[in-house]
A and B are shown apart, each in its own frame.
Chain A
Amino acid sequence: MLEIGVAVALYFAVVLALGVFATRRSSRSPEEYFLAGRGLGTVVLFMALFGTNCTSFVLVGIPGISYRYGIGVFGLNAAVVALGIPLTFWAIGSPARRLARKLGALTPAELYARRFDSRAVGVVFFLFFTAYTVPYMVQSVKGAGITAAQATDGAVAMWQAGLAVLVIALVYTSLGGMRATAWTNVFQGALFLVFMIAAFFLMSRSLGGLTEATARVEAQDPDLLRKTDEWLFAPRKWASWGTVISLTVIGFPHMFARLMAAKDERALKSVCRLYPLALALLWVPAVLIGVWGAGAFPGLEKADSDRIFQLMADAHMPAWLGIFGFLAVIAAVMSTLDAQLLTLSSMLVRDVSRPAPQRAVLAGRLFGVALAALVFVLSILWKDESVFAISRWAFEGYTTLVPALFLGVRWSRFTGPAAVASIVVGNALLILGRYELYPTVGFLPVFWAFAGAVATGVVVTLVSPRGSS
Chain B
Amino acid sequence: MNAASRNALIAVVGLAVLLLLHLDVWRPLPAGPYFGWMPEELLFRLLWMLLAWVFLIWFCARVWREAD
Cβ of A90 and Cβ of B64 under 8 Å apart?
yes
Interface residues of A in 261-317 (CB under 8 A from B): 264-266, 269, 272-273, 276-277, 279-280, 284, 287-288
User: Among A71, A94, A210, A279, which residue has its beta carbon within 8 angstroms of that of B64?
Assistant: A94
- Give the residues in chain A near B31, CB-CB below 8 Å: 226
A378 vs chain B, min Cβ distance (A): 34
A147 vs chain B, min Cβ distance (A): 25
Cβ of B37 and Cβ of A276 under 8 Å apart?
no
- Give the residues in chain B near A238, CB-CB below 8 Å: 23-24
B37 vs chain A, min Cβ distance (A): 4
- Give the residues in chain B near A266, CB-CB below 8 Å: 66, 68
A86 in the interface (beta carbon within 8 A): yes
B36 in the interface (beta carbon within 8 A): yes
A4 in the interface (beta carbon within 8 A): no
- Give the residues in chain A near B52, CB-CB below 8 Å: 79, 82-83, 276
Q: With A83-B52, A83-B55, A272-B56 as given contacts, are A214 and B67 in contact (CB-CB < 8 Å)? A: no
A105 vs chain B, min Cβ distance (A): 17
A202 vs chain B, min Cβ distance (A): 16
- Give the residues in chain B near A156, CB-CB below 8 Å: none
- Give the residues in chain A near B46, CB-CB below 8 Å: 79, 280, 284
Cβ of A80 and Cβ of B22 under 8 Å apart?
yes
Report the Cα distance A87→B39, complex, angstroms: 28
Cβ of B45 and Cβ of A214 under 8 Å apart?
no
Cβ of A227 and Cβ of B60 under 8 Å apart?
no
B42 in the interface (beta carbon within 8 A): yes
A225 in the interface (beta carbon within 8 A): yes
- Give the residues in chain B near A239, CB-CB below 8 Å: 23
B56 vs chain A, min Cβ distance (A): 5
Report the Cα distance A214→B49, complex, angstroms: 22
B25 vs chain A, min Cβ distance (A): 9
Report the Cα distance A238→B59, complex, angstroms: 26
Closest partner residue, chain A, to B27 (CB atom): A227
Cβ of A79 and Cβ of B22 under 8 Å apart?
yes
Interface of A is mostly: helix
B65 vs chain A, min Cβ distance (A): 8
Interface residues in A, total, Cβ within 8 A: 39
A279 vs chain B, min Cβ distance (A): 8
User: Among B38, B41, B45, B66, which residue has its beta carbon within 8 angstroms of that of A265?
Assistant: B66
- Give the residues in chain B near A265, CB-CB below 8 Å: 64, 66-68
Q: With A78-B45, A82-B52 as given contacts, are A273 and B22 in contact (CB-CB < 8 Å)? A: no
Closest partner residue, chain B, to A82 (CB atom): B49
- Give the residues in chain A near B67, CB-CB below 8 Å: 94, 98, 265
- Give the residues in chain B near A242, CB-CB below 8 Å: 19, 22-23
- Give the residues in chain B near A75, CB-CB below 8 Å: 22, 41, 44-45, 48
A211 in the interface (beta carbon within 8 A): yes
A34 vs chain B, min Cβ distance (A): 21
Cβ of B55 and Cβ of A227 under 8 Å apart?
no
Cβ of A277 and Cβ of B53 under 8 Å apart?
yes
Cβ of A211 and Cβ of B22 under 8 Å apart?
no
Cβ of A210 and Cβ of B37 under 8 Å apart?
yes
A72 in the interface (beta carbon within 8 A): yes
Cβ of A72 and Cβ of B49 under 8 Å apart?
no
Q: With A238-B24, A276-B49 as given contacts, are A83 and B56 in contact (CB-CB < 8 Å)? A: yes
A373 vs chain B, min Cβ distance (A): 40
Closest partner residue, chain B, to A86 (CB atom): B56
Cβ of A214 and Cβ of B37 under 8 Å apart?
yes
Report the Cα distance A226→B68, complex, angstroms: 46
Report the Cα distance A377→B11, complex, angstroms: 47
* Per-position binary interface string of chain A over residues 30-52, scored 1 when its CB falls under 8 Å from any chain B CB and 0 otherwise: 00000000000000000000000
- Give the residues in chain A near B60, CB-CB below 8 Å: 269, 272-273
A235 in the interface (beta carbon within 8 A): yes
A213 in the interface (beta carbon within 8 A): yes
B residues contacting A by CB (< 8 A) are: 15, 18-19, 22-24, 31, 33, 35-42, 44-46, 48-49, 52-53, 55-57, 59-60, 64, 66-68
A residues contacting B by CB (< 8 A) are: 71-72, 74-75, 78-80, 82-83, 86-87, 90, 94, 98, 209-211, 213-214, 225-227, 235, 238-239, 242, 264-266, 269, 272-273, 276-277, 279-280, 284, 287-288
Q: Can you give 27 A-B contacts (C-beta < 8 A)?
A: A71-B39, A71-B42, A74-B45, A75-B44, A75-B45, A79-B46, A79-B48, A79-B49, A80-B22, A87-B15, A87-B59, A98-B67, A213-B37, A214-B33, A214-B36, A214-B37, A225-B41, A226-B31, A235-B24, A238-B24, A239-B23, A264-B66, A265-B68, A266-B68, A273-B56, A277-B53, A280-B46
Give the 4 A-B CB pairs with smallest separation, nearest first: A210-B37, A83-B52, A265-B66, A79-B45
